[in-house]
Chain A
C-alpha cells in the first residue's frame, strides 16, 4: 500500500474534559476585540485631505479676478496676520484644536470587522426564537422591507404638496380602513407613534368628549391589576387619578369590584384585553355596558390584538378607544428603541374628538389631508394635534403590506396560530413549571409561569440565563408583577412546531436543573461571549464613557 506521509491522520476528536482557555481570548468564531477606541491609532483616516494652504492674510484680499479693472484690482488692503504666514496659522484662529481629537482611526477592514463582529454577537429575531412576552416579537417579512423602500414611499417629505404624494396618502387611508374594519370601530387616529402614545391619544379623546359634555369633573380612571404598566402612567399623565381594580384568583379583572366602583367621578376604565396574564377578559361587554351606563368611557389596551385579530372585533365589546401596536400585531421591526406606531381606533362617540391631521378620500377619489386649515365645520371638536406630521410612514407601508399579503383569512389564522402555539407551550411545560393561571382555561397569545418550586436560592433569572446557554433569548422575566418570579412566553404564530419543541425541551431541562439546585446555573451563561455580569457593581459604580487611560492617569 502507499502511504501519504503528510502526517495527517483523521480521527474522532478526543474528549479531554474541560478545555483550557485560548491564548488570544478568542473562542473560535467568537472573537474578542478591544474597544474601538483602543484599536489602531487616532492619527490616521481613510479619507485624504490636502494640507490647508497657508494663510496669505486676513480679510478677502487674497485672489483678485484677472479681468478686474485697475481700480478694483487695488481692492481692500491685505491684512497680514500678526503671527506671520505659515502652517501654524489657522483659519480657526484661537479656536484651533490644541489636543488630539481622539477619534478612532481604523482602516476599512478593521472597521468592517468591528461591526461584523458586533452583529454576530447579537441575538435577533432573524437568528432564532425570541420568546419575549408582553411585547410581540414576530418575524419581519422581507416583502415589507421591499415595499417600504419603494421610491414614492421612502423618499418623500411630509411637507410635499398632497398632489405629489397621493400614493402614500392612499396607503395611510387604506390601512386606516383595514384597522376600522378589523376592529369594528368608527374612526381611527393614525398619528400616534407608539402604544403608550396611542393610549395618551385615546385618553385625550375621552377627556375632550367629557369636557364637551360638561363632565370635566370626572377625574378617576380605573385600571385593573392585569393591565399594562403604561395604562396607569398614561392616565396620570393625562391628569387623572388612578385607582386600582383587583384581579380575581384566575387572573382576570374582578368585575364585581369594578362595577361597584363605578360612579359620577369615573371618567374611564382602561383594560388590557387580552390581558397581561395572557387571558381573555370574558366580561368585557358586561363591563363596557356598565361603564357606559355610568357615563364613563372604555379604553382598551390593544397591544395584544394579535391574539384576537380576525376573531374578535373590539367594537362589538363596547370599547370606545383602543390603540393597535402596528409593530406587534402587523410585524415590522421594533425593540431597542426602534420605531413603533400606535394608531387608535375610536367609537362613534369619540371619533369627532380625534386628533389632526388625517386623510380623507373625497368623492372624486382624490385624497386630502385634513389639517387645522381644512378641518372646517366637519371636524371642529378635534382635541388638536399630537404629532407634527401624519404618523410613522415606514410602519404604515410595512403593516399594510403584512395585512394585504395575509388577507382577511390569513389574519384570522395569525390569531389562531398564535393562540395555538402559546397553549402548546403552556400545556407542554405546566407539569415542569407552575402555571398560576393554568386552570383559568386556554391562554391567549402568551403562556405564564411562576418560579414556585425552584430550589432554595434559585430564581427566574437563573432559568433565563440558562436559556441563553441553550441558544434562546430569555423570556420576559418578573412581569406581570402579580405573579412571583413570572416567566412570560409568547411564541407568536411564526414559529414552527419543531422550533417550539426544541424550546420546550430546553426550558424543561433548565427548569429541572433549577428545581434540583444545580449550582452551575447560578453563574450561567457559560457559552455566551460574556458570562453572568455583576449587575450590582454595574449599577453601583457605572462606567458610562470610555476614558483614555493615559489621560486618566495624567489627571490623577
Chain B
C-alpha cells in the first residue's frame, strides 16, 4: 500500500484499485480544531480536483479536493459525531472517504511522502 499527497494537503492511500482519502497532519495543524466534516455520499462520482468534502474549523470552512478520480464506496461515518478525529489522527482514523480509482495513472502526478514533507517544509 502506498500513500500519495497533493499540494492542497490531501492524501490518498492506494490498495489495489481502492483509495482512502484524508487530509494531512500539516493541514489539520493549520486548520485548528475541526468542528464539522461533510463527507461525500456513497456512489458519488468524483473527478480529480472536484470538491469532495468540506471541513470546518473554528476559523473557517475549507473544501477538500479529491486527489484522484473515482466512485465513492464508503464515507467515514465516525466523523459525524467526532470530527475531532481529524485533529487526533488525520492520517489514520480521521480518513474522509474511500473510492474506487477510475484512473490509476493519475497517481503519478501526486507526491510521495518524502516529496510532500519537502514541499511542506518550504511553506
Contacts and interface: CB of A to CB of B under 8 A. Distances in A.
Interface residues of A, number: 5
B90 interface: no
A536 B35 contact: yes
A262 to B, nearest CB: 28
Contacts of A540: 35-36, 83-84
Interface string B74-106: 000000000110000000000000000000000
A540 B35 CA distance: 5
Contact of A535 (B56, B58, B84): B58
A536 B35 CA distance: 6
B51 to A, nearest CB: 15
A503 to B, nearest CB: 26
A536 B59 contact: no
A478 interface: yes
A145 to B, nearest CB: 37
Contacts of B58: 535-536, 539
A427 to B, nearest CB: 31
Nearest to B35: A539
Nearest to B87: A536
Interface in B34-66: 35-36, 56, 58-59
A246 B20 CA distance: 35
B38 to A, nearest CB: 14
A540 B56 CA distance: 10
A540 B82 CA distance: 9
A327 to B, nearest CB: 26
Nearest to A481: B60
B33 interface: yes
B30 to A, nearest CB: 11
Nearest to B84: A540
Nearest to A459: B32
A140 B36 CA distance: 40
Interface string B12-36: 0000000000000000000001011
B84 to A, nearest CB: 7
A539 B87 CA distance: 15
B86 to A, nearest CB: 12
Interface of B: 33, 35-36, 56, 58-59, 83-84
15 contacts: A478-B59, A535-B33, A535-B58, A536-B33, A536-B35, A536-B58, A539-B33, A539-B35, A539-B36, A539-B56, A539-B58, A540-B35, A540-B36, A540-B83, A540-B84
Interface of A: 478, 535-536, 539-540
Given A478-B59, A539-B33, A539-B36, 6 more contacts: A535-B33, A535-B58, A536-B35, A539-B35, A539-B56, A540-B83
3 smallest beta-carbon distances between A and B, as pairs: A539-B35, A536-B33, A540-B35
